[in-house]
A = this chain, B = another copy of it.
């Protein structure tokens, strides 16, 4: 029989809130409105360790991921989880039968590729977004979720524009929106992405023919914005649409400086 060192009493008796595996890359399938999409996400799965146990059985966390995955894959479209947070909760549910714990977290980080239409020529363009979903089971057995999106856009400086007869500096910016809410709150990552993307001076596109490029350029100059303006617009729209604790962070990669500027706020 193998020794189970994890079950021993530790020298320092202290509850640890988050113990587990991190930076584990694997494959996952999500049934999104009736169509199955494949992702290559990075997982973090943690549970708490009570003061009187030396450690956790790490392999059971990996098994929970693998089983939640393969169940979905086997049953194909019908069985695939309906969202990343459903997948996360399913991993925790499987973990409940495998490893005692009072608290558990699953974090899933991946890219979404969403088809869009270019602004003038109406072509299809595929836009990439970074998303992260956390599912947290608390000591009282309640489930919370954390949804994060990170979207690339741009800022057009209204101060330089006012002082230079319409000339200004423009740059890429990135907006991050986090909503922390009850698990059952219906919030889609796509709507969160829309909130951020529509708050820049203009959305960006992977494919832009000359007529589209002109539309984007003209649109940017009609809509000059400080990084502060972008943060406020994201915050205001998010608070209106999403129930929960909201955190907004916008970074503008200034074209006239070597450093970035930042605007951040939260509810």
The 0/1 profile, CB within 8 Å of B marked 1, for residues 199-226 of chain A is 0001011111111011011101100001
A163 and B214 in contact, given A232-B16, A235-B14 (Cβ under 8 angstroms)? yes
Partner of A228, one of B16, B63, B170, B213: B16
Q: How far is the CA of A266 from the CA of B48 in the complex (A)?
A: 12
**28-44 of chain A: CB within 8 A of chain B:** 37-40, 44
Min CB–CB distance A240 → chain B (angstroms) = 11
Min CB–CB distance A254 → chain B (angstroms) = 7
> Across the interface, do A19 and B264 meet the contact criterion of CB distance under 8 Å?
yes
- The residues of B that contact A206 with a CB separation of less than 8 Å are 24, 26, 62, 257-259
Q: Which residue of B lies closest to A213 (CB)?
A: B160
Q: Which residue of B lies closest to A168 (CB)?
A: B217
- The residues of B that contact A4 with a CB separation of less than 8 Å are 159
Min CB–CB distance A146 → chain B (angstroms) = 16
Q: How far is the CA of A19 from the CA of B235 in the complex (A)?
A: 14
**57-74 of chain A: CB within 8 A of chain B:** 58-59, 62-63, 66, 69-70
Stretch at the interface among A91-99, A123-131, A136-144, A186-194: A123-131
> Across the interface, do A233 and B63 meet the contact criterion of CB distance under 8 Å?
no
> Across the interface, do B259 and A226 meet the contact criterion of CB distance under 8 Å?
no
Q: Which residue of B lies closest to A63 (CB)?
A: B207
- The residues of B that contact A87 with a CB separation of less than 8 Å are none
The 5 closest A-B pairs by CB, nearest first: A38-B38, A24-B259, A5-B159, A3-B162, A18-B264
